[in-house]
Amino acid sequence: HKKPPKRELTFAQQLYNHLLSPLRVVIEHAHSGMKRLRMVQDTLRLRGQWRRDTVIVVACGLHNLRVRSPLRLYAPDKFPKLSE
């Protein structure tokens, strides 16, 4: 809930916002991950709603691939240094 002007939120509304906030973070991260593709962020001049929908579906797929990729687990700084 959004705070009304010059008033406070009720305890129930504050509790609702508190419980909802972790879900919002997940959704905001997903949106920002999709916005990495400029195609999604910029104005599309494609005719037909189905083409725009296809672009969003592809962006979602690429985002999911990036998030679930085993390459994200690669952290070279965590490996022991080899002596020369």
Residue extents of the structural domains in the chain: 11-69
Predicted local confidence at residue 8, as pLDDT = 92
CA distance 62 to 37: 9
- Chunked into runs of 10 residues, the chain (84 residues) has average pLDDT values of 88 93 88 79 78 86 83 65 60
Q: Is-contact 52 46, C-beta < 8 A?
A: yes
The pLDDT of residue 76: 61
In whole angstroms, give the CA distance from residue 84 to residue 74: 22
Q: Among candidates 50, 52, 28, 49, which has minimal Cα distance to 40?
A: 52
